[in-house]
A and B are shown apart, each in its own frame.
Chain A
Amino acid sequence: MRKILFISRKSPYGTSAPREALDAILAASAYDQDLSLLFMDDGVFQLIKNQRSKKIEQKSMEASLQALELYGIDNIYCQEESLVSRGLENTDLIFDKIKLLNNQAINDLMANQDQLISF
């Protein structure tokens, strides 16, 4: 079993990258590997509650991200510095149990992986 970290770094609706990151990790969940997902940089905006993306003809990332739990992906992390620098707090986020990591912890997390896939 290999340790694979998916990193999602883009805001939810500006590009297709966040949705493609989510699709990739959901597909990967079928292969019995040790998967983790890290939100950093503008990727933390995907985690904000009460998204109303119908107004711009987009599926809600907030709703789509709920699939992570159904697919058994529990290792979900968020870079603390990205949140703080964007004026966000963990009470703004859709996942109660998301783990906030400082930069040292992110270094350790990445160093511990077999593969990183960045979106």
Chain B
Amino acid sequence: MLFSLLVMSAPYSSQSSQTAFSFAKTLLSEGHQIHRVFFYGDGIHNASSLASPPQDEINLPIQWKHLAEQKNIDLVVCIAASLRRGLLNEEEARRHEKPAANLESPFEISGLGQLLEAAVVSDRLITFGT
């Protein structure tokens, strides 16, 4: 079955972020496919390359990065939610004249249309963190 995930909670603030990641891993190990993971609201913080948790805690942005690179998953953060909260890629940092970019790769910044497209093409869209 083809799934998409909508993640709306920040890592470390809410267990939902970890649950979303565990759910994604389990989907793949059970033979399902993931079309896209869309990060919205506080969920965009899962894509920060600056997250620096203690070494004995999971680093969710890095875990998402590894999973996406191994399994070729589309990770998209909402541009409106990201800019408000100070999550920028190189292009947006230049456009808004900010001193740094902090979007982990391979996360991409895009619009809410990517959420709707995921809802349309996926068999299931599962929401985490509301």
Q: Mark B10-48, 1 if CB is under 8 A from A, else 0.
A: 000000000000000000000000000000111000000
The interface residues of chain A, by DSSP majority, are classed as mixed
State whether A2 and B111 are in contact (beta carbons under 8 Å apart), knowing that A115-B125, A117-B125 are contacts in the complex.
no
State whether A27 and B130 are in contact (beta carbons under 8 Å apart), knowing that A4-B119, A20-B41 are contacts in the complex.
no
Interface size bucket, A side? 10 to 19
CB distance from A15 to the nearest CB of B (A): 8
* A28 on interface, CB distance cutoff 8 Å: yes
* Pick from A17, A31, A115: contact of B130, CB under 8 Å: A17
Contact in complex: B115, A24 (CB < 8 Å):
yes
Query: Of A4, A23, A28, A115, which is in contact with the most chain B CB atoms at under 10 Å from its CB?
Result: A115
Question: Which parts of A93-115 form the interface with B (CB within 8 Å)?
Answer: 114-115
Name the A residues within 8 Å of B111 (CB-CB). 27
* Pick from A4, A20, A28: contact of B40, CB under 8 Å: A20
Interface of B with A (CB < 8 Å)?
A: 6, 8, 40-42, 80-81, 111-113, 115-117, 119-120, 122, 124-125, 127, 130
Selected A-B contacts with CB under 8 Å, 12 pairs: A4-B119, A9-B130, A17-B8, A24-B40, A24-B116, A27-B115, A28-B119, A31-B116, A31-B120, A33-B116, A115-B124, A119-B130
